[in-house]
Amino acid sequence: MNALALALNFAAVAAIMLLLCNVGKLFGPTARHEGDAELPYETGLPPMEEAGRGMSALYWRFAVLFVVFDVDLAFLLPWALNRSALTGESLASVTVFVGLLLFMLGYFWRKGSLSCRP
Amino acid sequence: MNGISSAFWDLLRPQAALAVGALAVLAAGASRRVSTRVVKWLALAAVAVALLLLMTVRLQVVCLPLLRSDLLGSGLQAVFLSAAIPLLYLMEPADEIPPALVLGSLIGMGLIAVSGNLLMLFIGLELMSVPAYLLVARSRSPQALEASVKYFFAGGTASAIYLMGMALHFRAAGSLVLAPAPGPAGAAGLALMAAAAFFKLGAVPMHFWLPDVYEASDPELAGFFSTGLKAAAVLFLARLVPMAAPAGALVPALAWFAVLTILFGAVVALRQQNLQRLLAYSSISHAGFMMLAVAAWAKQGLAAPAAGALFFYLAAYLFMSGGAFLWLKAAGVRTRAELLGLAKARPGSAAVFAVLLLALAGIPPTAGFAAKFLVFWEAFKAGLYVPLLLAGLGALVSLGYYLGLIRDMYFDEAGPEPVKAVGPAPARWFALGCAAASVLLGLTPWLMDWFRPGMLGLRP
């Protein structure tokens, strides 16, 4: 009995998935595969080059640093929102936290990680 | 709002010293006038200060919302801080980043040692592991990058498994304090978190990353992984043990996985030709003995003597395994074939390695024997007879390669590829010191009580 229910469930799931995958084909207008219909839309002009080309890696350090400091900002936000309940001790700890961030920013700057030149 | 108590800062003092040291190392590296020699000494000074501060941390069992301290934690903290000293001294970094990474890893291990909360444990785990992946990538071996990526993915998987377990635990218990959680969700959560600990420890069947990492790392780094990182992983496992819902529910799993780990490591090591890989499998096998000690500790209701046996095993292992890896660095030997007839060419060097191997094998009167004896005795008291028997069998199998290496050195003619390279002199002194310490500790195990009275489990 349970096995039958499980099988019915699987069948229902498969049917719904098939339906959802093909609902556009069933009810939508017929697709045109001619001319520039397959081209990606780019401000109305024909694309100049392939979108899947290699990107320069010079920017990656910058990107990583951005993510790191962005996450740190997420830590600071709840602190700022609770400022009415804060004591001197929490001010001291958040000052240490921001100080560490500034130290590391200075370190990266000094090591040349902020420059986009090779 | 509760002020953060002074006990909180008291426990974090060694970690604070390491953090200040790491910042100083980075600042020194950023200023172009400071040489890497000064950077190295700064890092060593930070570790020394952390060790001194660790001695001053008050010796009671403290339980705070986030932190807790006990003898096992502070003892093992001393083990992994000491394990970093030869690494920091011997590594020849091109810049200040590797020493800072080592200090960062030590902060993470220290947080594991004092954490009383699953989230704190996770932060410690990540802070310990991420620098380790980067340190592997910086090794000289051509496979270093591959090993590092492998290590990263294995470690990342372990962290994800741990987080899943933590979420299940939180659902069952409604809190992240290290306390049992009721129901099947709690049990599943604990099982997942224990699996993550097995990953970090390199226990079978989660050991697959370990030989590749140890082989590709520089010998001194592999020695640090085998001693320091292993001590932290054991501590991580030990922190999870009291969370078993009927106390001691983890014991059968721990004991049987321990047996599997011991036997697997011993059997596979028999066939290894690369010495670092051989020592890596030997390290897997030893991790099994540590798990057996944890199981005995859990079975006896977290009795202090069993914790003492666990600590002594790791302290002895610090010298045995750390010394063996440092000897590889000192002698410039990589493969087993290069050992042939080494005793004739360099008798002193061969003798040091022979002592370390005898200690790893657990032959009296070395520290390895005393450590194994203590662990077996605790397992016997805990009534783990069958695992004990199989562990003994594993120890017997491991004699095959430890004594085989000694035979290669002493009773074989020099092979076609005699060793020409000789490593740096400080590595020789470290290896000699480790060999001496593993004999001394074997003769006088109570010397451990000099570091901390009651370390061998006379007090909780």
Q: Which residues of B touch A111 (CB under 8 A)?
A: 30
Residue A103 lies in a domain: yes
pLDDT at B73: 87
Is A13 contained in some domain? no
Q: Which residues of B touch A100 (CB under 8 A)?
A: 23
Q: Can you give the pLDDT at residue B457?
A: 44
Asked whether residue A22 is assigned to any structural domain, the reply reads no
| Chain B CB within 8 Å of residue A83 CB | no
* A103 in contact with B, Cβ within 8 Å: yes
Determine how many CB atoms are found less than 10 A away from the CB of residue A15.
10
Q: Decide if A103 and B1 are in contact by the 8 Å CB cutoff.
A: no
Cross-strand bridge partners of residue B335: B274
| SS3 assignment, position B133 | helix
Can you spell out the DSSP letters for chain A?
A: -HHHHHHHHHHHHHHHHHHHHHHHHHHSPPPP-STTTTSPPSTTSPPSS-TTPPPPGGGHHHHHHHHHHHHHHHHHHHHHHTGGG--HHHHHHHHHHHHHHHHHHHHHHHTTTT----
Q: Kindly report whether the peptide bond that precedes residue B426 is cis, defined as omega within 30 degrees of 0.
A: no
* Nearest chain A CA: its distance from B97 CA (Å): 11
**Partner-chain contact A103 B4, CB within 8 Å:** no
Closest by CA to B313, choosing from B377, B368, B383, is B368
Q: Is B260:B220 a contact under the CB 8 Å cutoff?
A: no
A95 within domain boundaries? yes
In our burial notation (b when 16+ CB lie closer than 10 A, e otherwise), range A81-100 reads eeeeeeeeebeeeeeeeeee
- What residues make up the domain containing A65? 57-110
Interface of B with A (CB under 8 A): 1, 3-4, 23, 26-27, 30
Write the single-letter amino acid at B372.
K
Specify the pLDDT at position B361. 94
Tell me what pLDDT residue B405 has.
93
Domain-embedded: residue A81: yes
Does residue B371 form part of some domain? yes
Strand segments, DSSP code E, in B246-343 are: none
Maximal C-alpha separation, chain B: 74
What lies within 8 Å, CB to CB, of B450 at 6+ separation is none
Count the domains in chain B: 1
- All residues of chain A having their beta carbon less than 8 Å from the beta carbon of residue B3 are 87, 89
Quick check: is A1 in a domain? no
Task: Residue B417: give the domain boundaries.
Answer: 250-460
Give CA separation, B382 vs B251, B294, B300, B302, B385, in Å: 10, 11, 6, 11, 8
Min Cα separation B432/chain A (Å): 39
Token digits for B47?
A: 């570790």
Total beta-carbon pairs less than 8 A apart between chain A and chain B: 17
Tell me how close the Cα of B208 comes to any Cα of chain A, in angstroms. 30
Kindly give the confidence (pLDDT) of every residue in chain B, 460 residues in length, as a single tens digit, with 9 standing for 90 and above: 344 567 777 888 899 999 999 999 999 988 878 888 899 999 999 999 999 998 877 666 667 778 888 888 888 999 999 999 999 999 888 888 999 999 999 999 999 999 989 999 999 999 999 999 999 999 988 999 999 999 999 999 999 999 999 999 999 998 898 888 888 888 999 999 999 999 999 998 889 999 999 999 999 999 999 999 999 999 999 999 988 878 788 899 999 999 999 999 999 999 999 999 999 999 999 999 999 999 999 998 888 788 888 988 999 999 999 999 999 999 988 888 888 888 888 888 999 999 999 999 999 889 999 999 989 999 999 999 999 999 999 999 999 999 999 999 998 887 666 666 677 889 999 999 999 999 998 888 776 665 555 555 434 3
Contact call for A107 and B4, based on CB within 8 A: no
Residue A44 lies in a domain: no
- Nearest-Cα distance to chain A for B32, in Å, is 10
Identity of residue B329: K
- Tokens describing residue B324: 């063996």
- Torsion from C-alpha of B154, B118, B289, B394, nearest 10 degrees: -40
Report the gap between the CA of A107 and the closest CA in chain B (Å): 6
Query: Tokens representing B242?
Result: 């009291």
Question: Residue type for B450, please?
Answer: W
Amino acid at residue number B107: I
DSSP B225: I
The answer to whether the Cβ–Cβ distance between A110 and B1 falls below 8 Å is no
Distance CA B233, CA B238 (A): 9
Q: Look-up: residue for tokens 């194994």?
A: B372
Coil vs helix vs strand at B69: strand
Chain B CB within 8 Å of residue A85 CB: yes
Quote the CA–CA distance of B199 and B185 in Å, as a whole number.
Answer: 21
How many other CB atoms are found less than 10 A from the CB of residue B19? 19
Quickly list DSSP for B244-272.
Answer: -SSTTTTHHHHHHHHHHHHHHHHHHHTT-
In the predicted model, is pLDDT for residue A84 greater than 90?
Answer: no
SS3 B290: helix
Tokens standing for residue B107: 């902060």
Q: What is the domain count for chain A?
A: 1
Among chain A residues, the shortest Cα distance to B3 is held by A89
Nearest-angstrom CA–CA distance, B199 and B357: 26
Reported as a single tens digit per residue, the pLDDT across B160-206 is 999 999 999 999 998 898 888 888 888 999 999 999 999 999 998 88
Identity at B57, one-letter amino acid code: V
How far apart (Å, rounded) are the C-alpha atoms in residues B130 and B113? 17
Does residue A34 sit within a domain?
A: no
Query: Inter-chain contact A107–B30, Cβ cutoff 8 Å?
Result: yes
Q: Mean pLDDT score of chain A, rounded to an integer?
A: 83
3-state SS assignment for residue B132: helix
CA B258 to chain centroid, in Å, comes to 16
CB atoms under 10 Å from CB of B395, counted, come to 20
First to last CA, chain B: 32
For chain B, give me the number of helices (H) and strands (E)? 19, 2
Please name the residues in contact with B429: beta carbons below 8 A apart, sequence gap of 6 or more: none
Give the number of other Cβ atoms within 10 Å of residue A74's Cβ.
8
Return residues 45-74 of A near B (CB < 8 Å).
Answer: none
What tens digit of pLDDT does each residue of A86-109 get?
A: 888 888 888 999 999 999 989 988
CA distance B116 to chain A (A): 21
Q: What number of residues does chain B have?
A: 460
DSSP state of B178: S
Whole-Å CA distances, B192 to A37, B158, B397: 51, 9, 31
Q: Which of B1, B27, B30 lies nearest to residue A87, judging by beta carbons?
A: B1
Q: What is the pLDDT of residues A11-33, one digit of tens each?
A: 999 999 999 988 888 888 877 77
